[in-house]
Amino acid sequence: MDIITQNKILSYILDEWKILLFLVAIYLLYYYGTYNYDYFEKKGISYIKPTIFVGSLWMRVTKQISYQNYQLYVYNYFKGKPFGGIFLGRRPTLFLIDPDLIKAVTTRDFEYFVDRNSLETNEPRFLKRTLLNLKGSQWKAVRSSITPSFSSSRLKNMIPLIQQSSDQMVKFLQQYDKSDVEMKDLVGHLTLEVIGACAFGIKTDALTDENAHFVKLAKQFGDITTKRKIFLLIFIMFMPNLMKYFNLSFLNTEAIEELVKVLKVTKAERRKAESKKRDFLQQIIEAADKEREEVEKTGGVIQLDEDTIDGQSFLFLIAGYETSSTLLSFGIHILAVNPDLQNKLREHILQVTEGKEITYDLLTELDYLEGFLLETLRLHPPLSRVDRVCVKDYILPGTNVKLEAGQVVAIPVYGVHMDPDIYPEPSEFRPERFMGEERKNRPSHLYLAFGAGPRNCIGMRFAMISAKIAMVSLLKNFKFSPCAKTENPVTIDMDSVLLKPAAGLWVKIDKL
């Protein structure tokens, strides 16, 4: 190349440097957004073709499909294969379809998948110390310390408190006789009162004052602006490693801080009190005191510190409130649009409980009610996908596919629950699926409303007992029927990850 040609090239670069810089920037942006999109192809794994930046989430980003139905879409897309891959932005995530693989990851080979997938952000430490976010040995230590709080004997002691709250709920609802009501909001008052009484020994006023401060805070915990959601999604898709430097959350941090202040005051008062209650908070305080004594004697690390106690208290409150109110409100909606089912369930409840005190043993006799609640959760799981993180290299059974430590695997709960090979005629509501031989013959890891394996929901028995007592009280005292605002099927909120009806769950309520 002669000197004249070199000068011309140099002159062109100097004259057009802005255009060239723009083209280089475009290329780098494209490369950054797509460089690992051959991840599954290299491993020989089927995958949903990604779109630059959003990965396999185009239908979700453009609000063509709800979060719940997207899990069903992914499940059906890979049905017939043991697994398949999608990209959450740039991050590859392996979806498990085969029942044996689901069992391996959640139960049999749990040591390889101890951790849940969680965002690493610079959030308050008490949020990092919840059971949802704790990892490895720390999770095991805290879980084992808390588990006795949900033993049969502890739950039996809570039944009178739950019954008292349910009786208050009946009085609360009587003011709405012959009215159209939105049940998700109203039963939320009951779940808050139950959790306040059973977990913390506090009165939330949820069933006496619709505008109680505690109620408002609990309702607001998931409220964030659309602008903030978009900002968070951009971080997750493009800059996940930077999130640990920022206090970012999909929760309303102001409401959370106020709720935790209330719980901290309750904890402080409990430690000063001479008489000891037998609720969740008391159990975890005593477990923490016992651990501290043992550490002072033998050494070691304290796991149940103050932030950890606050974190579990907050988790119990929010998780219990959201899941229980979803279960009860969708259950009531189902009864309203299926009057024959409502009559059958009411007759069953009256036959088993009429003239009897509600006890732990009596609740076990309500097999049709239990089937009804479990079937409600099958069709309407509050969380329609569960994730696990591979903590050490793992070969997927029956394949030569290797998962590296840090790889996220997902189980599409709603897809499994709507699989006709597992649940024949899955769109049909049939409580009998969870009764007798039909229930016994179905592998337990294929019902995932409470998760599966050692990392399942620690409070599932408490949730079921609370829901049973609430339904007994409600069906003995009220009839539910459709009203002008009742949707069937229910339209699901496109923005929410948790199951949320877009227009509420409206029914007409009549006293019996």
Question: Are the C-beta atoms of residues 206 and 167 closer than 8 Å to each other?
Answer: no
The residues, ordered by sequence, that sit 6+ positions from 345 with a Cβ below 8 Å of its Cβ are: 335, 368, 369, 372, 431, 471, 475
The C-alpha atoms of residue 497 and residue 224 are separated, in whole angstroms, by: 13
How many C-beta neighbours within 10 Å does residue 497 have? 15
The C-alpha atoms of residue 398 and residue 41 are separated, in whole angstroms, by: 19
Tokens of 157: 């002691």
Question: Are the C-beta atoms of residues 47 and 37 closer than 8 Å to each other?
Answer: no
Report the DSSP pairing between strands 83-88 and 402-403. unpaired
How many C-beta neighbours within 10 Å does residue 310 have? 21
The C-alpha atoms of residue 475 and residue 347 are separated, in whole angstroms, by: 9
Cite the annotated binding site by residue number: 457
The C-alpha atoms of residue 251 and residue 123 are separated, in whole angstroms, by: 11
The C-alpha atoms of residue 512 and residue 509 are separated, in whole angstroms, by: 10
- CA–CA–CA angle 54, 59, 62 (5° rounding): 80
Three-state DSSP class for 285? Answer: helix
- Could you tell me what percentage of the chain is helix, strand and coil, using 3-state DSSP and rounding each to the nearest 5? 55, 10, 35
Cite the annotated binding site for heme by residue number: 457
Look at phi and psi of residue 420 and say left if phi exceeds 0, alpha if psi is from -120 to 50, else beta: alpha
The C-alpha atoms of residue 339 and residue 345 are separated, in whole angstroms, by: 10
Tokens of 475: 């069906």
Q: What is the 3-state secondary structure (H, E, C) of 152-204?
A: HHHHHHHHHHHHHHHHHHHHHHHCCCCEEEEHHHHHHHHHHHHHHHHHHCCCC
**Of 37, 38, 116, 12, which Cα lies nearest the Cα of 408?**
116
First to last CA, the chain: 97
Segment 4-9 long-range contacts (CB within 8 Å, at least 24 positions apart): none
Tokens of 318: 């929010």
Tokens 């939105």 belong to residue: 182
